[in-house]
Every structure is written in structure tokens, then in C-alpha cells.
Amino acid sequence: MKALFVEDAYLSTAEALVTSVREDGGIMLDQTCFYATSGGQPGDTGFLERDNGERIEIAGAVNGATKSEIIHVPAPGQPSPEIGEKLVLHIDWERRHKLMRMHTACHLLSVVCAYPITGASVSETDSRVDFDMSETIDKAEVTAKLMDLVNANHRIYTQWISEEDLDANPDLVKSKNVRPPRGQGRIRLVCIGEDAAIDSQPCGGTHVTETAEVGEIHIGKIEKKGKENRRFRIRFGPAPD
């Protein structure tokens, strides 16, 4: 299965052929623009359109046994497609674009707050990033630095490196607990700024292509979760007074 979002995160629709339908109803395709839940970013929702215009509503997308397997999970009571059937895939683009903006905001936060990441979760309205840090940090200051990066409108692009290159540059990995998936020979880096001047880190998620597209964001709160853990919440819009 070809994961089209890896090369083009802006693909909201695509054509595909049904390769199999699992016993649990999960639909497998030859290619897809549906992102599967991974790395703290939720999978896409949307619908698959049949030739006669009938819709198969998709409640989510998840990985199967391997990363290269993406299961499209239908909502309850949806019709089941035939193997070999051609479908037009439509992701809920409004939702996905918010997730792309939020996911990119998490990368910007890791630039502003250069501590090891212990966890992260992206949603349409709110994202959280946990850092291994014991210092107290002012959320208004973090918000101001985040907005500086947004307003500078840095370019965001991806670049592939070999596993050997990653081994030679272990500092690229900011996540303390999660290692990038190995065994495919290459790792995708998400770079911010010309020549990755602002940041680069391994990531398989979907991002916007310029930091200004993130839009206005602020740190809603910073919670102390244990002596050496701080949980930051990123929200859209201006900081409330």
C-alpha cells in the first residue's frame, strides 16, 4: 500500500483500488491519502466514494501489522466494498489541516523548549507535549517565541537520510522514549528553515509547508507532572487575557 501523504500532505482526495476487506470490516487499498494514527497524531476520518455515488464513511485509519499497512476503519453500518473496486478517497480536510498546523506547532515548541520530549499528542483544538525538564518557564515567554517562529514564515520540508546518517547524528532524535522506526534503510527528517537552520528531526507525520500557516497559537498552560516532567498545552488563537 502506497502512503501518499508521506510525499504530499496536502492530498485531500485520491483514487484507489480495494485490495482486501478484513473480517473486522477494515478496508485495505492499493494506495491511500488517509494518515494512520501514529506518533501522537490521530488518523484521518472521511469517506470512500463508490462509482454510484454511495459513500462509505470512515471513522479512522490505523496501522496493521506493519507501518506499511493502513486499515481504513468504517463507521458502524456502512456498506462493504468489493475487492478490486475503484473508490475515490476523501479525507476530512478541515480536520486534517488543523492537525497539520497543530503537529507543526509541536515541532516549533521543541525548538523553543530544547528539552528531551517524553510524550506528545495532537488534536484539532489542543495539543500536549511533555518534556523532561525541572525548570519553571513562563508560558507568555514561550508563546512569544513560538509566534516569532510562526511570523518568520520559515519553510518546512522533508529530507530522507540513511539509518547510518542517523546513527552518526544521534542528537537529531528529540524524543526520549520513542526511536524512529528502523529496518527500511531510510528515515524521513522534517526540516524547518533553509538548510534546516531552525530544526530537523525524524518524523512520519503530516506538516504544513511554511510556519506562518500554523497561524496564531499560544501556550494554554504548563502543568507540572512529576519532579522532572512538564506538560505544555498548545492552543489555537490568541492567549486569553
User: Please, what is the minimum distance in Å from the beta carbon of residue 187 to Zn ion?
Assistant: 13
Q: Which is nearer to Zn ion, 205 or 220 (CB)?
A: 205
Q: Which is nearer to Zn ion, 38 or 228 (CB)?
A: 38
User: Please, what is the minimum distance in Å from the beta carbon of residue 189 to Zn ion?
Assistant: 10
CB closest to Zn ion, residue no? 203
Cα distances from 77 to residues 26, 54, 84, 128, 156, in angstroms, run: 13, 13, 21, 33, 40
Q: Among candidates 130, 120, 80, 96, which has minimal Cα distance to 13? A: 96
By CB under 5 A, tell whether 100 contacts Zn ion: no
Distance CA 14, CA 86 (A): 11
Task: Show the binding pattern over residues 58-77: x = contacts Zn ion (CB under 5 A), - = does not.
Answer: --------------------
Which residues within the stretch 167-186 sit at the binding site for Zn ion (CB under 5 A)?
none
Q: Which is nearer to Zn ion, 34 or 35 (CB)?
A: 35
Q: Which is nearer to Zn ion, 14 or 203 (CB)?
A: 203
Q: Which is nearer to Zn ion, 33 or 192 (CB)?
A: 192
Total residues binding Zn ion (CB under 5 A): 2
Task: List the Cα angle 99/9/86 in 5-degree steps.
Answer: 110
User: Please, what is the minimum distance in Å from the beta carbon of residue 198 to Zn ion?
Assistant: 14
Distance CA 112, CA 199 (A): 10
User: Please, what is the minimum distance in Å from the beta carbon of residue 70 to Zn ion?
Assistant: 18
Distance CA 202, CA 174 (A): 9
Q: In the chain, what's the furthest Cα-to-Cα distance?
A: 59
Q: What helix, strand, coil percent values describe the chain, rounded to 5?
A: 20, 35, 40
User: Please, what is the minimum distance in Å from the beta carbon of residue 103 to Zn ion?
Assistant: 5
Q: Among candidates 198, 240, 229, which has minimal Cα distance to 110? A: 198
Which residues within the stretch 183-222 sit at the binding site for Zn ion (CB under 5 A)?
203, 205
Binding site for Zn ion (CB under 5 A): 203, 205
